[in-house]
Amino acid sequence: MTVQIDHALEEIRRFRPSPEFAAQAVAEERLYEEAAADRLGFWADQARSLLTWEKPFTQTLDWTNPPFAKWFADGELNVAVNCLDRHVAAGLGERVAIHWEGEPGDSRSITYAELTDEVKRAANTLEGLGVKQGDRVAIYLPMIPEAVVSMLAVARIGAIHSVVFGGFSADSLASRIDDAEASVVITADGGYRKGRVFPLKPVVDEALEKAEGGTVRNVLVVKRGENEVAWNADRDLWWHESVATASAEHDAQAFDAENPLFILYTSGTTGKPKGILHTSGGYLTQAAFTHKNVFDLHAERDVYWCTADVGWITGHSYVVYGPLANGATQVLYEGTPDTPHPGRWWEIVEKYGVTILYTAPTAIRSFMKLGRQIPHAFNLRTLRLLGSVGEPINPEAWIWYRHVIGGGSIPVVDTWWQTETGAIMISALPGVTDLKPGSAQVAVPGISVDILDDDGNHVEGEGGGLLTITEPWPSMLRGIWGDPERFKETYWEKFGDKYFAGDGARRDEDGDIWLLGRVDDVMNVSGHRLSTAEIESSLVAHPWTAEAAVVGAADETTGQAVVAFVILKASQADQVTDVSAAADELRKHVATQIGAIARPRQVFIVNELPKTRSGKIMRRLLRDLAEGRQVGDTTTLADTSVMTAITAQVQ
């Protein structure tokens, strides 16, 4: 029913930018025209006007060896200098870069001058530990200023960071450390979440026992949680003893535009996460360009807040690199939205006078459930622009966001992009585009997308097809760490020189793009990407499990939820008398192996799984079941009675 209402309303709801907003907007219609007339010239102009180059580039794009792109390749710059030193040199040293709010209520405001000093100290410390250009540093930190400092310090010395989200397990951390062959890990004793200290250093200790490479020489530890930690004096250093006492003089060297900046692991269709590689000049150009134009940034007066954790790409591009390259003032919050009370976010908006808020639909939907009285207990009138990212935002949530949080008349931008794209690719431009709830709308200037059928033919209209990016873009991934073949195979084999995004999409009669979800076995839970294969292999690694199938089932709050169907080994089945305890044990097992975000909402113990004659599991049928629908066509099953049996067991 809701779907039908949404659909009916889709057709009528359009929101023109208000004349007042349009009059002051950063973005202008002419950006589309300029980019259409000369795409590469357009990006070269952006790179020159938004960034400071130590050595100017003469070549914009080298696409002679697709899919390996080089942008601005003969130019040189230092990413950290672009985010820090140049603002201080321009007289903005006293501007607040970060208003940090700890979950327990402690806070710190850090100016650009202070942040620059801290990054220089950390850069000196890392160099003192022998970290050089190209070396990998793993970062496993809570949302504290040191996370931003660490990333920029690594960037400053031309090394490569690999940030691992603090919610990932020791196993996940170990495999990421091994894959990247990290030589240093930066962590904290612990951080605050839901009113408690969650330990991080002990997870690092465990991960380093599990890591097979033995590549880590040092662990740099920020004191935050004050929890007890074990200490290995040959390896571990406290941040407050090393960074705090290091020199704040550090001459930054300029590096090639294509110098790798970071690796960020994300889930793919197989069990092994992919290390997505991003480089410097092109990445920073597009992060800065989109941050400025999509969020209508007026750096001198805005207070911007992106609620993403730095462990995800949104935190990389829209907490660290985009906002800091643009000299923005932003809020960084350590904890969860509902600690110590459900109005915590809105209290923060009021406290700092936040003007731009960027968050995920899943958060908006959980606030909708709690009701408008919670945000309305606070003064939200400073807000003037709202953004959404991570999954499709249903029109109802879009409207609620605009009305209840935004007061009814401010722009909401729905931004489509991916870890791989590095920066926003599809979004309205506030002040320019008429907004349409539920649609991510149009490619940003300089980006070319198309919707194709399986054979690569352009498709129009309602049916939709596969979203592709038809021209290389500055912040595109440069590869998968250590696996060029997988890079080609995953993204470029399907359509040749066009990038296959893995999302379904359709274009409506106005030319606006609607995202239809993943077309592969990747799930989207609360805006986080999870792979069905990775969770299946975790379940199968449990001694009780014979076979497992995982599906992403629609969930009102989290978008999708993980639902698993598990066959127990015959040898174990007799011992497992309590099915619900067994299911709980398996849910816990996945959380321990991968991380709490991967914990299945439900595990059903079944006797069989639906398979085709060739042995392929028909997840579509399991999804029907998990979503409480009539089970669809079963005629291609090897044994058509299986679904009846499974349905009976599940109920």
Q: Residues annotated as binding site?
A: 193-196, 314, 390-392, 414-419, 503, 518, 526, 529, 540, 542
Q: CB within 8 A of 612, min separation 6: which ones? A: 618, 636, 637, 638
Q: By CB under 6 A, tell whether 359 contacts ligand PRX.
A: no
Radius of gyration for the chain, computed over Cα atoms and rounded to the nearest angstrom: 24
Closest CA to 520 of 464, 466, 440: 466
In the complex, what is the shortest distance from the CB of residue 515 to ligand PRX, in angstroms, rounded to a whole number? 4
> Is the bond preceding residue 67 a cis peptide, omega within 30 degrees?
yes
In the complex, what is the shortest distance from the CB of residue 149 to ligand PRX, in angstroms, rounded to a whole number? 23
Q: Is 33 helix (H, G, I), strand (E, B) or coil?
A: helix
Q: By CB under 6 A, tell whether 529 contacts ligand PRX.
A: yes
Site string for ligand PRX, 477-516 (x = CB under 6 A): ------------------------xxx-----------x-
Length of the chain: 651
Site string for ligand PRX, 391-410 (x = CB under 6 A): xx------------------
Number of residues that bind ligand PRX (CB under 6 A): 21
- Using the minimum distance from each CB to ligand PRX, give the nearer residue, 529 or 619: 529
Q: Is 487 helix (H, G, I), strand (E, B) or coil?
A: helix
Q: By CB under 6 A, tell whether 225 contacts ligand PRX.
A: no
Q: Which of 266, 285, 475, 558 binds ligand PRX (CB under 6 A)?
A: 266
- Using the minimum distance from each CB to ligand PRX, give the nearer residue, 524 or 538: 524
Q: CB within 8 A of 394, min separation 6: which ones? A: 6, 361, 438
In the complex, what is the shortest distance from the CB of residue 264 to ligand PRX, in angstroms, rounded to a whole number? 9
DSSP state of 569: P
Q: By CB under 6 A, tell whether 313 contacts ligand PRX.
A: yes
Q: CB within 8 A of 270, min separation 6: which ones? A: 531, 533, 534
In the complex, what is the shortest distance from the CB of residue 163 to ligand PRX, in angstroms, rounded to a whole number? 13
In the complex, what is the shortest distance from the CB of residue 113 to ligand PRX, in angstroms, rounded to a whole number? 31
- 208-213's contacts with Cβ under 8 Å and 24+ in sequence apart are 208/174, 208/177, 210/170, 210/171, 210/174, 211/174, 211/177, 211/178, 212/174, 212/178, 213/177, 213/178, 213/181
Cα gap 346→573, rounded to integer Å:
50
- Asked whether 22 and 431 are in contact (CB, 8 A), the reply is yes
Q: Which residue is nearest to ligand PRX (CB)?
A: 419
Q: By CB under 6 A, tell whether 390 contacts ligand PRX.
A: yes
Please name the residue that has the structure tokens 């359009």.
14
- Using the minimum distance from each CB to ligand PRX, give the nearer residue, 75 or 595: 595
In the complex, what is the shortest distance from the CB of residue 267 to ligand PRX, in angstroms, rounded to a whole number? 8
Q: By CB under 6 A, tell whether 524 contacts ligand PRX.
A: yes
In the complex, what is the shortest distance from the CB of residue 161 to ligand PRX, in angstroms, rounded to a whole number? 17
- Using the minimum distance from each CB to ligand PRX, give the nearer residue, 416 or 604: 416
Cα gap 557→415, rounded to integer Å:
19
In the complex, what is the shortest distance from the CB of residue 228 to ligand PRX, in angstroms, rounded to a whole number? 34
In the complex, what is the shortest distance from the CB of residue 636 to ligand PRX, in angstroms, rounded to a whole number? 27
- Asked whether 647 and 632 are in contact (CB, 8 A), the reply is no
Q: Report strand pairing: 107-111 vs 96-101.
A: antiparallel
What is the full DSSP assignment across 205-262?
HHHHHH-SS----EEEEE--S-------TTTEEEHHHHTTTS-S--PPPPEETTSEEE
Phi, psi dihedrals of residue 36, rounded to the nearest 5°: -70, -35
Q: Which of 15, 165, 295, 417 binds ligand PRX (CB under 6 A)?
A: 417
- Using the minimum distance from each CB to ligand PRX, give the nearer residue, 187 or 290: 290
- Using the minimum distance from each CB to ligand PRX, give the nearer residue, 72 or 358: 358
Closest CA to 499 of 426, 421, 444: 421
Closest CA to 290 of 505, 53, 31: 31
- Using the minimum distance from each CB to ligand PRX, give the nearer residue, 46 or 317: 317
Instruction: Give the helix, strand, coil percentages of the chain, each rounded to 5.
Output: 35, 25, 40
Q: Which of 224, 292, 316, 518 binds ligand PRX (CB under 6 A)?
A: 518
In the complex, what is the shortest distance from the CB of residue 255 to ligand PRX, in angstroms, rounded to a whole number? 26
Binding-site annotation, residues for Mg(2+): 540, 542
In the complex, what is the shortest distance from the CB of residue 143 to ligand PRX, in angstroms, rounded to a whole number? 17
The region of 38-46, 339-347, 412-420, 638-646 touching ligand PRX under the rule CB under 6 A is 412-420
Q: Which of 114, 179, 334, 414 binds ligand PRX (CB under 6 A)?
A: 414
Q: Which of 418, 439, 475, 545 binds ligand PRX (CB under 6 A)?
A: 418
Q: Which of 415, 532, 538, 560 binds ligand PRX (CB under 6 A)?
A: 415
- Angle (CA) 476-478-479 rounded to 5° is 125
Phi, psi dihedrals of residue 413, rounded to the nearest 5°: -110, 125
Question: Which residues, 181 to 200, sit near ligand PRX by CB under 6 A?
Answer: none
Q: Which of 15, 321, 346, 416 binds ligand PRX (CB under 6 A)?
A: 416
Q: Max alpha carbon distance in the chain (Å)? A: 74
In the complex, what is the shortest distance from the CB of residue 440 to ligand PRX, in angstroms, rounded to a whole number? 5
Binding-site annotation, residues for ATP: 390-392, 414-419, 503, 518, 529
The region of 114-122, 147-155, 331-339, 415-423 touching ligand PRX under the rule CB under 6 A is 415-423
- Using the minimum distance from each CB to ligand PRX, give the nearer residue, 498 or 529: 529
- Asked whether 101 and 333 are in contact (CB, 8 A), the reply is yes
Cα gap 66→405, rounded to integer Å:
44
- Asked whether 252 and 130 are in contact (CB, 8 A), the reply is no
The region of 59-67, 279-287, 387-395, 489-497 touching ligand PRX under the rule CB under 6 A is 387-395
Q: By CB under 6 A, tell whether 57 contacts ligand PRX.
A: no
In the complex, what is the shortest distance from the CB of residue 27 to ligand PRX, in angstroms, rounded to a whole number? 18
Q: Which of 440, 539, 563, 603 binds ligand PRX (CB under 6 A)?
A: 440
Site string for ligand PRX, 334-353 (x = CB under 6 A): --------------------
- Asked whether 390 and 527 are in contact (CB, 8 A), the reply is yes
- Using the minimum distance from each CB to ligand PRX, give the nearer residue, 250 or 506: 506
H helix or E strand, kind and range, residue 185: strand 184-188
Cα gap 97→3, rounded to integer Å:
42
The region of 154-162, 348-356, 411-419, 625-633 touching ligand PRX under the rule CB under 6 A is 411-419
Q: Provide the binding-site residues for ligand PRX, judged by CB under 6 A.
A: 266, 313-314, 389-392, 414-419, 440, 501-503, 515, 518, 524, 529
